[in-house]
Structures are given as structure tokens and as C-alpha cells.
A and B are shown apart, each in its own frame.
Chain A
């Protein structure tokens, strides 16, 4: 792994779908050790940006560097990506999902996975198909947090989830995030309950960045919470 001051650098990133330009020259630089909120309404390009970083979409232009690495197999090993959709094999048990994931990542922490399983109140023998949406979201989060991946990307982790699961997820993130070694991006359009997590935020709208900066600085400068700022920007 190459040494890099930044966990993630995105320069002039462009991505076009047949009917819409999802990203119109997005540039961000994320220092190591912070949790960033990627905020914006549905269709603003949040998921597209995260998928490009995770190597699941090929940008039409611009550059991406993950810890100094271009998108590659090597970079994928450094990223823990949790997409919004259910990506779990439904016939697997919770234990099988963990074992499957563990086999592919050298940074997998078996002990942490066990602790998180208990904390998230999941039965290791339960089949994924029998889990509720909230439980599946918690399981997906374990797959990311049980690793010491330098870059964690969570795409709408709170979408359509009951409040108790949401609280568990927020608490899980706070407990497990290793500030010195890790950087996290959480995309969401539900800012209220998650504002406390963010060190910095990026407001994305129709593929362009409206506003970005340190969360505390923005609160001081605008005299309002990030949630209120979000409502104002996207009103």
C-alpha cells in the first residue's frame, strides 16, 4: 500500500447514464481519520459517487485515488463498501455470510465480528431470508465494521430502517470506528439522527457539490445545525 496523506481523492469525476448526467465534475479530498457525510436528495449522485469509488461503476472522466491507488483489485481490498440494496445471499446463514466475507479480506477481525454480532443482536444460525430489513442492514454493517479497512463506504445505511435498528447502527459505528486508521463516508438523505456522526459533510445536488466543509465550521458559520442547513439547501 502506498503512503498517502488523503484516504480518498476524487478529481473532476464525471459519470453519465443514458438519460442523465449523474456526476458533473465532482472533486473531493478526504483526509484520513474522519467520518464524512455525503448528503443530498434522491438522485443527487451519492450512490453513483460511492459506486465509482468502490470500483462498481466506471467513470466517464476524472480521477479517483484510494490511499494513493487508482481503482483496482488492490484498492478494493482497502475498501469496505456497504451498498443500499440487499447484497446478501439469502440462502446463507448469518454465520455463513461472515465466513464467506472473512475469506476475502486479510483485515477481517474474527473477534470484532463476534462482538458486533452480539451487539447487533443477530443469531448466527438464522438464515438471511428470515431476517427483517433492519436486521439485514445491521448484518451488512458488521461486514464493514469487522474489518480494519482504511476506507469504509456506507450507502444509505439508514434507509427504510426501523428506529431501533437505526440507533443500533449509529451506536455500532461510534463504537467500532477506528479514528486513527479509518475514514468513513456515509451517504444519506436523512440527516437528523446521524448529524452527530459527521466530522465533515458534502452536499451533493444533481451531480455537483453545493457545499462542503468541516461540520462544526459550517454550524458556526451559518448558525444552524447541518440538518437545518440541509433542509435550506435542498428546499
Chain B
């Protein structure tokens, strides 16, 4: 556990500067828009821009970071250190996954915090639609959790594609792309194949769970998880496959 934590801390420390920089830029941008709106230079609807821009940019940034955290290990030759360590490959990958999830959480918190801080007053109309603060917190948390789940699976596919690409000497970019497509196709097939095995699971009435009836009593939002379980299992299998390949088959030769 101590070893794993050390790996996580190392990755967190490595991502500290870029995360702080992006958080700072985002808050400055929000403050700038708020200033313009407050003094009448810009229409109040421009506030949406201050929230929409980071929200649109962050996913791209996070995908780039998932790739970059691995790429930098090769570029700076620190992959020698990682491969020489007596730790399982999946721990190295999990440490990166955890640190990227922390990065996602920080950026999510910055977006939410910045929005509340700078535009809280301007969003009165929106607040009037919801019944309580607890509703906002509850649904906000599940939006965060769903985003985290999607992002985590994306990271796993990026890690697999990157590690496999490092097992070949040429056309690494093409190999990475091909592995990404193939892994996604396999996961999709696994989802379809395994779905009948999980038909017995109950349909989840998410409109009740998310208290959507507090917005409008007519909202129905149901989800049956059978189709997604194969996808999750395949993604978990790909994660361990990446760790195994990293530990046993990745070579370095400058």
C-alpha cells in the first residue's frame, strides 16, 4: 500500500502545476466575464459562456492529460524507473488513473465553485426552478460521479492503446488508434453478449433516485443496467491487461 501511495503521490505532484495553472486561468476568466457583465459591457447571458467554455474544454484537456502522463514517462526516460520497480504493472496504471481522477475532481470543483462564486446571483432564475439546495447537491454529486465513471473508462482505453503502441517499433500512433477502436468494439460486443445474463436485474427508476419529480412530476427516467455490465467487465479486463503488458512486454531501447 505504501508503494502504491508513493506512486499516486508522485503522479499527483507531477500534475499539480498544470492543474493549478488551468484552475487559475478558469477562475480569472470567470472573474473577467463577471466584471464585464456587472459593468454592463456584456449582456448577462454571457455568463453562460464563462461556464460553458471551461465545461467544453476540460474533457479535451483531461483526455490530453491521460495521454500526456504516460507519454512524459517515455519522453523523460523515467519509464526506466517505473519498469525497474518491483511493483505490479496494474499498480503503476492505477496510480495514474487515481491521480487523473483527482485532477478531474479539482477541475469539477473549480467549475462549480467558480460558477457559484461569480454567477450565483445571476442564476436566481435557475435556482427558483429547483426545490432545495440538497436537491442541487444530490444531483450535482451524481453528475460528478457519472462524469468520473465515463472519464475513468476513457483513461483505461487510452492507457491500453498507449502501452500497446509502445510494444511496437513503428507506426505507434496508428497502432494506438487501432487498439482503441478494437478495444471499444470488443467491449461493445461483450456488452451485447453478456446482456442476457443480467436481464434478471431490476430496472432502475432513476427519476425517483434523482428526485426528478421535484422538478416536474411527469418526468420518467428509467435505466436497465444489463446492457452496460459487459462493458464495465470488459473495461476492467482491459485495465488489468494494460498492467500485465506494461510489466511483462513493454521494452525500452533508446
List chain A positions with a Cβ less than 8 A from chain B.
Answer: 17-18, 48, 51, 54-58, 73-74, 76-77, 79, 81, 83, 85-92, 96, 99-100, 103-105
Q: Which of B6, B77, B80, B252 contacts A100 (CB 8 A)?
A: B6
Task: Name which of A57, A89, A96, A105 has the most chain B CB atoms within 10 A of its CB.
Answer: A89
Contacts of B17 in A (CB 8 A): 91
Closest 3 CB pairs of A and B: A77-B86, A87-B80, A103-B6
A88 vs B252: C-alpha distance when bound (angstroms): 16
Min C-beta distance of B166 to chain A, whole Å: 12
Contacts of A18 in B (CB 8 A): 169
Known A-B contacts A57-B251, A100-B6; the reply to A88 vs B88 at CB < 8 A is no
Judge whether B41 is part of the interface by a CB distance below 8 angstroms: no
Closest to A58 in B: B251
A228 vs B197: C-alpha distance when bound (angstroms): 74
Residue contact B10 to A100, C-beta cutoff 8 Å: yes
Residue contact A76 to B84, C-beta cutoff 8 Å: yes
Contacts of B77 in A (CB 8 A): 83, 85-87
A76 vs B10: C-alpha distance when bound (angstroms): 20
Contacts of B42 in A (CB 8 A): none
Closest to A18 in B: B169
A96 vs B253: C-alpha distance when bound (angstroms): 27
Q: Which of A73, A85, A87, A103 contacts B247 (CB 8 A)?
A: A73
Residue contact A55 to B251, C-beta cutoff 8 Å: no
Contacts of A77 in B (CB 8 A): 86
A73 vs B88: C-alpha distance when bound (angstroms): 7
A48 vs B253: C-alpha distance when bound (angstroms): 8
A103 vs B95: C-alpha distance when bound (angstroms): 15
24 contacts between A and B (CB under 8 A): A17-B169, A17-B253, A48-B253, A51-B253, A56-B80, A56-B84, A57-B253, A58-B249, A58-B251, A74-B86, A76-B84, A76-B86, A77-B86, A81-B80, A83-B77, A85-B77, A88-B78, A88-B81, A89-B10, A91-B14, A91-B17, A100-B6, A104-B6, A105-B86
A87 vs B85: C-alpha distance when bound (angstroms): 12
Closest to B80 in A: A87
Residue contact A85 to B80, C-beta cutoff 8 Å: yes
Residue contact A89 to B3, C-beta cutoff 8 Å: no
Residue contact A55 to B10, C-beta cutoff 8 Å: no
Task: Name which of B85, B247, B249 has the most chain A CB atoms within 10 A of its CB.
Answer: B85
Interface size classification for chain B: 20 to 34
Q: Which of A58, A81, A85 contacts B84 (CB 8 A)?
A: A81
Known A-B contacts A18-B169, A85-B77, A104-B87; the reply to A56 vs B252 at CB < 8 A is yes
Judge whether B83 is part of the interface by a CB distance below 8 angstroms: yes
Residue contact A51 to B87, C-beta cutoff 8 Å: no
Residue contact B169 to A73, C-beta cutoff 8 Å: no
Residue contact A87 to B6, C-beta cutoff 8 Å: no
Contacts of A56 in B (CB 8 A): 80, 83-84, 251-252
Residue contact A83 to B80, C-beta cutoff 8 Å: yes
Residue contact B2 to A51, C-beta cutoff 8 Å: no
Residue contact A87 to B78, C-beta cutoff 8 Å: yes
Closest to A19 in B: B169
A105 vs B17: C-alpha distance when bound (angstroms): 29
Judge whether B124 is part of the interface by a CB distance below 8 angstroms: no
A87 vs B81: C-alpha distance when bound (angstroms): 6
Judge whether B13 is part of the interface by a CB distance below 8 angstroms: yes
A56 vs B81: C-alpha distance when bound (angstroms): 10
Residue contact B14 to A89, C-beta cutoff 8 Å: yes
One digit per residue, 1 when the CB lies within 8 angstroms of any chain A CB and 0 when it does not, for chain B 178-213 equals: 000000000000000000000000000000000000
Contacts of A54 in B (CB 8 A): 84
A96 vs B26: C-alpha distance when bound (angstroms): 30
Contacts of B13 in A (CB 8 A): 91-92, 96
Contacts of A58 in B (CB 8 A): 248-249, 251
Judge whether B254 is part of the interface by a CB distance below 8 angstroms: yes
A72 vs B15: C-alpha distance when bound (angstroms): 30
Judge whether B76 is part of the interface by a CB distance below 8 angstroms: yes
One digit per residue, 1 when the CB lies within 8 angstroms of any chain A CB and 0 when it does not, for chain B 43-86 equals: 00000000000000000000000000000000011101101111
Residue contact A73 to B86, C-beta cutoff 8 Å: yes
Residue contact B80 to A103, C-beta cutoff 8 Å: no
Task: Name which of B80, B85, B247, B251 has the most chain A CB atoms within 10 A of its CB.
Answer: B80
